[in-house]
């Protein structure tokens, strides 16, 4: 298992943040096989740099690298949850999946193959996309262990179209494909933050017809985090679930670097508060998708926010691990 610098390895009081191997937050580096074999690995950060199933801006293939780079500012102690996130989650950085650019179906197979041993070992994967199509392989890996998962997804779009440009596996069709394959349980799934113009009035009706619960941005903005968390718990229940976060749920003023931006989204503060309110839910996996670094503002604000979102996900993984999920 490789050593890294940064907060997880003792912090900038031992060495500057920008030195050492650039893993997520300075976590120890491990290959996927090594992460599976480690008795202390409770969570694994895994990059999935695939972005050729996007319909507008490409560039999300560079997100795992950019998020890792921004994560050097993170520190172990979470003051709200009162825990050392990295120690309590037992997290490692397992590197990136070797995907196939231009081939979404093959890449989904590669992602499922890479994550399946982690899921079988009880390790909680945190997948850094990549466009949203990477979630299909992720869900396949989890379903092999847990059956069809529930889903809590913060996203500006439902991603339930039948096809896009004639393609059935695209970032805008991934939720429908997962339901059709039986790896996602729509009756235990909720998509929140929906907004923006649509192709027709049928778009959201078709998503609801699949059995999904949809929450508009207006309702999400009106809800206090505790109310949203109560809605999620009622929907998800006590069984295993996946937490998904598409960065386009955030307003472009705070996260401009995304493939399909929509105005009038969540603030960074509200998004983090929503995540923190979900403590105690039985999450067995997380993903963070659609960060598109070539479109970031000076200071790489989107990647910085994404790194903090991933940190909150690791905190939820730590709490789930503590509860014996």
Write the CATH number for 264: 3.40.800.10
For a pLDDT cut of 90, what percent of the chain falls above it?
Answer: 83
Residue 57 to residue 67: CA distance in whole angstroms: 18
Q: Residue 252: which H helix or E strand, with range?
A: none
Residue 152: its pLDDT value, please? 99
Residue 2 covered by a domain:
no
Cα-Cα-Cα-Cα dihedral of 4, 5, 9, 13, to 10°? 170
Instruction: Name residue 246's beta-bridge partners.
Output: 289
Residue 8: its pLDDT value, please? 61
Tally of domains in the chain = 1
Residue 70 to residue 108: CA distance in whole angstroms: 27
| Residue 108 pLDDT grade (very low, low, confident, very high; cuts 50, 70, 90) | very high
Within 10 angstroms of residue 37's Cβ, the number of other Cβ atoms is: 13
Residue 267 to residue 249: CA distance in whole angstroms: 9
Residue 186 covered by a domain:
yes
Residue 304 to residue 1: CA distance in whole angstroms: 26
Structure tokens that stand for 62 in this block: 């560079």
Say if CB 28 and CB 3 are below 8 A apart: yes
Q: Which of 28-37, 93-102, 124-133, 273-282 has the lowest mean pLDDT?
A: 28-37
> 38 vs 97, which has greater pLDDT?
97
Mean pLDDT value across residues 106-119: 97
pLDDT tens digits for range 55-76: 999 999 999 999 999 999 999 9
Residue 325: its pLDDT value, please? 56
Within 10 angstroms of residue 275's Cβ, the number of other Cβ atoms is: 23
Instruction: Name residue 189's beta-bridge partners.
Output: 151
Mean pLDDT value across residues 250-277: 98
| Residue 1 pLDDT grade (very low, low, confident, very high; cuts 50, 70, 90) | low
Residue 205 covered by a domain:
yes
pLDDT tens digits for range 11-39: 556 788 888 889 999 999 998 877 766 65
| Residue 323 pLDDT grade (very low, low, confident, very high; cuts 50, 70, 90) | confident
Residue range of the domain that includes 49: 23-322
Residue 95 covered by a domain:
yes
Regarding beta strands 83-84 and 77-78, do their DSSP bridges make them parallel or antiparallel, or are they unpaired?
Answer: antiparallel
Structure tokens that stand for 159 in this block: 């991603």
Residue 7 covered by a domain:
no
Residue 41: its pLDDT value, please? 84
Residue 69 covered by a domain:
yes
Say if CB 24 and CB 93 are below 8 A apart: yes
pLDDT tens digits for range 198-224: 999 899 999 999 999 999 999 999 999
| Residue 155 pLDDT grade (very low, low, confident, very high; cuts 50, 70, 90) | very high
Q: Residue 91: which H helix or E strand, with range?
A: strand 91-96
How many helices and strands, by DSSP H and E, does the chain display? 11, 10
Residue 262 covered by a domain:
yes
Residue 239 covered by a domain:
yes
Q: Is the peptide bond before 130 cis (omega within 30 degrees of 0)?
A: yes
């Amino acid at each position: 298992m490789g050593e890294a610098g940064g907060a997880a390895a003792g912090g900038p009081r031992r060495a500057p943040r920008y030195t050492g191997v650039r893993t997520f937050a300075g976590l120890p580096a491990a290959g996927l096989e090594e992460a599976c074999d480690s008795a202390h690995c409770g969570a694994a950060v895994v990059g999935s740099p695939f972005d050729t199933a996007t319909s507008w801006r490409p560039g999300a293939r560079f997100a795992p690298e950019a998020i890792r780079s921004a994560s050097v500012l993170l520190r172990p102690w979470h003051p709200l949850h009162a825990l050392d996130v990295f120690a309590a989650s037992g997290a490692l950085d397992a590197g990136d999946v070797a995907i196939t650019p231009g081939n979404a179906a093959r890449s989904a197979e590669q992602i499922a193959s890479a994550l399946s041993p982690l899921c079988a070992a009880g390790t909680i994967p945190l997948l850094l996309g990549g466009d949203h199509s990477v979630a299909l392989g992720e869900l396949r890996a989890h379903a092999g262990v847990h059956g069809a998962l529930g889903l809590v997804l913060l996203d500006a779009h439902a991603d339930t179209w039948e096809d896009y440009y004639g393609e059935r596996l695209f970032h805008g069709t991934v939720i429908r494909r997962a339901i059709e394959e039986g790896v996602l349980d729509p009756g235990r799934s909720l998509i929140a933050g929906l907004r923006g113009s649509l192709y027709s009035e049928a778009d959201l009706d078709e998503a609801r017809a699949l059995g999904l619960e949809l929450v508009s941005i207006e309702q999400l903005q009106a809800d206090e985090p505790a109310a949203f968390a109560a809605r999620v718990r009622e929907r998800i229940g006590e069984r295993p679930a996946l937490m998904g976060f598409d960065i386009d749920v955030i307003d472009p003023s705070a996260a401009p670097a995304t493939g399909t931006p929509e105005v009038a989204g969540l603030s960074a503060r509200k998004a983090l508060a929503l995540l923190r309110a979900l403590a105690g839910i039985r999450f067995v996996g997380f993903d963070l998708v659609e960060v598109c670094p070539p479109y970031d503002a000076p200071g790489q604000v989107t990647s910085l926010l994404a790194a903090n979102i991933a940190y909150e996900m690791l905190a939820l993984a730590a709490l789930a691990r503590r509860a014996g999920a």
